[in-house]
Structure 1
Amino acid sequence: MSTRLALALRLIVPAVWIGLIIAIDFIEAPLKFQAPGITIPLGLGIGRLVFTAMNIVEAVLLVVLAIALWRSAAQRRERFLLAGLAAIMVLKLAVLRPLLAGHTDAVLAGTSDGGSSVHYFYIAADGVLTVLLVWFLIVQVRRIVPTQLDDVVLAATEHARVGGSR
């Protein structure tokens, strides 16, 4: 993988991931149950399929992002953010999804009437994931696009170097 491709992936992957979370978690999931004719069991079945697919895509995005960072000189802050993203994904996949699946099974079997606080933890985990992804994206953009302050410091350094060599 070229450095240029790794750089592009460090920008594109978090942006796509943020879009995925917004589209599924914050738009599709709440609206699904408002559609005419959607029953709780049907909505839960659709939700299970959608979130399974989403989690697979998220895992792939995390791996691609890790490879892109590995292929380029990652800063400590970037490695920290990647570790945070990985930790949230482990929490979602190893803890929250199995709890939600058990709850969904109980609702579908008729032994539970619905409503689970685990959903709020999942939403919170995706909220934290979104914040980390935005932070990661900002770090990447700042590495690529120098700020005006960077330009001023560079100009002053160059001026001092050129002026000092006379």
Structure 2
Amino acid sequence: MTSPLPAPASRGAQWAVAARIYIPALWLGLIIGISFIEAPLKFTAPGITIPLGLGIGRRVFFAMNMAEIIFFIALVAGSAKRAAGKAWGWGVGLVGLLLLIKTAAIRPGLSARTDAVLAGVSDGGSLWHYAYIGVEFCLTLALVALLLMAAKRWIRITGR
């Protein structure tokens, strides 16, 4: 007699589905905590000068960018374990493209701007900041979409 219930997924498949939930969720937490909370508030703290805030920001955003690259690699690895569908593939591709734009195009421009402010040649503020915020917002939306797709799949697979 056969069971009407589906066979339990293998450990590898379970890990892949779980990774599709955990990685975007952790990445979202990183973006919200650093880009949308810490960065704007940093300059309002007593005793923080522009050079000190920029120095801290450089270190924090470099570390954040390294974590994002690791998250992206893990996301791709979790996606490769088991087919996730076309929408998922496009979502992961979009996340990768946004990360590439942020890392290879925008961060160098921000770095040059920071150098100019620290050298006293500029008073700060630039289109690079707006570009970074825009890409960060789009990345946030793409990660939310991935998280929702993964949660929907998890519910469908586990029946929870």
Tell me, in whole angstroms, the C-alpha distance in 2 between the residues paired with 1:54 and 1:123: 15
Work out whether 1:6 is the aligned partner of 2:20.
Answer: no
Higher Rg:
1
Work out whether 1:97 is the aligned partner of 2:123.
Answer: no
Tell me, in whole angstroms, the C-alpha distance in 2 between the residues paired with 1:45 and 1:116: 17
1:138 Cα deviation after fit: 0.6
Aligned-CA RMSD value: 0.9
Give the match's secondary structure for 1:2: helix
Tell me, in whole angstroms, the C-alpha distance in 2 between the residues paired with 1:140 and 1:28: 28
Tell me, in whole angstroms, the C-alpha distance in 2 between the residues paired with 1:10 and 1:76: 14
Using the size of structure 2 for normalisation, the TM-score is 0.89
Using the size of structure 1 for normalisation, the TM-score is 0.86
Work out whether 1:131 is the aligned partner of 2:141.
Answer: yes
Tell me, in whole angstroms, the C-alpha distance in 1 between the residues paired with 2:48 and 2:124: 15
Tell me, in whole angstroms, the C-alpha distance in 2 between the residues paired with 1:50 and 1:141: 30
1:73 Cα deviation after fit: 1.3
Tell me, in whole angstroms, the C-alpha distance in 1 between the residues paired with 2:87 and 2:139: 16
Aligned to 2:55: 45
Aligned to 2:65: 55
Among 134, 145, 151, the alignment partner of 1:141 is: 151
Gaps of 5+ in 1: 147-166
Gaps of 5+ in 2: 1-10
Once superposed, which parts of structure 1, at least 4 consecutive aligned residues long, lie more than 2 Å away?
none
1:2 Cα deviation after fit: 1.1
Work out whether 1:22 is the aligned partner of 2:28.
Answer: no
The aligned amino acid for 1:46 is: I
Among 90, 94, 119, the alignment partner of 1:84 is: 94
Percent identity between matched residues is 47
